[in-house]
Structure formats: C-alpha cells, structure tokens
Amino acid sequence: MSSAHTGHDHAGHDREGHGHDHEGHAGGGHFDDRAATRDDDPDKIRQSGEVADAIAAAVSLPPRARVLEYGAGTGLVTTALLQHLTDPALTFADNSSGMRQVLADKVEAGTLPSPARVWDLDLESAPVPSDRFDLVLTSNVLHHVQQLDRVLGGFAELLDAGGHLCIADLDREDGSFHDHDFGGHHGFSRDELAAQIEAAGLTDVSVGDAGKVVKEGRDYSVFLAVARKA
C-alpha cells in the first residue's frame, strides 16, 4: 500500500482521458496511457524546471509550506521546486488515474517526500475541498479548462490568507500547439487572464515570463501569473 493518501472523498468524476496532460487533449485513456513514460522526455523536465525557478523567484514560501499542484501529471514542477522548499506538506491533484498511480509510486519510492497526498480532483465538476494551502500551482493545465471562472474561484478558495496562486501556461498562440479538434484555449492573453484572476478574488496579480515549451521544433512562450489571497 502506498503511503500516499488518494483522497477520493475530494474526487469528482474520474473522467479518464480528460486528465490534465501538459501538452494535448484526447479522448479515451490518452492521459493514462502516457503517464508511465511522461518523465522520459527531457524537454518536459527542462520546462518544469523553468516554471519552478520562476515560482521560486516570485514567491517566498514559509517552512512546512502547504503546497497543492493541480493537474499535477507526474509532479514534475513540484519535484523541481523541492530544492526551494523546507519540509513541505505536498498534495498532488489529477483526474487521470494513470498519473495518480505514478505519483503514488513516487511517494512510495521516496522520489517525492512522504507523507504526500494524491487526490482525484477536477474543480470543474467537484466541490472545493476544505483544505487550505500556502501555494496552489498549476502548469500548462488551464488551457484545457472550460469553466475557467469556476476553477479560478476554486483556487482562490483553496488558498489560506496570504497564500499564493501560481499559474504557468501558454501565451496566446495561433492554434498550432494542439490538434485541430482541440476544444480548449489556444493560450491566453496575459492581461485578460490577470483580470479574470482578480475577478476570482485574488490580489497583487503579476504576470512574467516562465520559459518555453518546445513542440515539433517550434518554441511556444510560457508565462507565470502570480496572485495573492488577501
């Protein structure tokens, strides 16, 4: 039995195939199928490190910080962030069962520090858990989200007073990043997203650069939006 707590009481429906993979979206078991080999891609490691460095530069986190990575995939951003954290309390949320299994295995193996919790959570369909965090982070996930205002409001509710939200995602692009049938967002306008974050009840919103994603030989710029819960 893994030492990771799966937290199914926080679950919405486990809509496998809609888990927050960080590069594409497809039906069926797409995200579950990719989980086992996700960490084999050196560019994902590089890009996750760039996001983690941007978060560390933007936010000063206390010892034993309560951290939630939403749409965590295999937890690469939090893994890269660990060097900047002191004895954190980690929670990973993803609605792909394959990704959650990889996360649980990492906790079991000690690759991620124990205890850590692994949740089946989709804020588009599930109630917001009662837990509170010092940092909620998400990387290349939001462009998959349909009910953006609902999810941003959920992030705000999950933060304790003084806590920070960090969102890394694609700058607005021409639609070439995804397959032609992709139903999400083709990146974001930084100003428009900042306004939506403020409307969700957060303050001190700033948006800066957080590296790039390389796909099929093309660079796509990534931003980091940071906000605080008053």
Q: What CATH code is carried by the domain that includes residue 90?
A: 3.40.50.150
| pLDDT tens sequence across 183-199 | 899 999 999 999 999 99
- Which residues of the chain fall short of a pLDDT of 70? 1-34
One-letter amino acid identity for 77? V
Residue 172: per-residue pLDDT:
97
Residue 105: per-residue pLDDT:
95
Say how far apart CA 148 and CA 52 lie, in whole Å: 23
Is the N-terminal amide bond of 129 cis, ω within 30° of 0? Answer: no
- Which residues are CB-neighbours of 177 under 8 A, at least 6 positions away? 23, 170, 186, 187, 213, 215, 220
Any domain includes 58 = yes
Number of domains, the chain = 1
Tokens linked to 4: 């990771």
Any domain includes 187 = yes
Say how far apart CA 123 and CA 136 lie, in whole Å: 13
DSSP-derived 3-state class of residue 185: coil
Residue 32: per-residue pLDDT:
64
Any domain includes 2 = no
Q: How long a stretch of residues is the chain? A: 230
Distance of CA 130 to the CA centre of its chain: 19
| pLDDT tens sequence across 93-144 | 999 999 999 999 999 999 999 899 999 999 999 999 999 999 999 999 999 9
Any domain includes 3 = no
Which residue range forms the structural domain that includes residue 183?
Answer: 8-228
Strands (E), 16-143: 66-70, 89-93, 116-119, 133-139
Which helix (H) or strand (E) segment holds residue 149: the answer is: helix 148-158
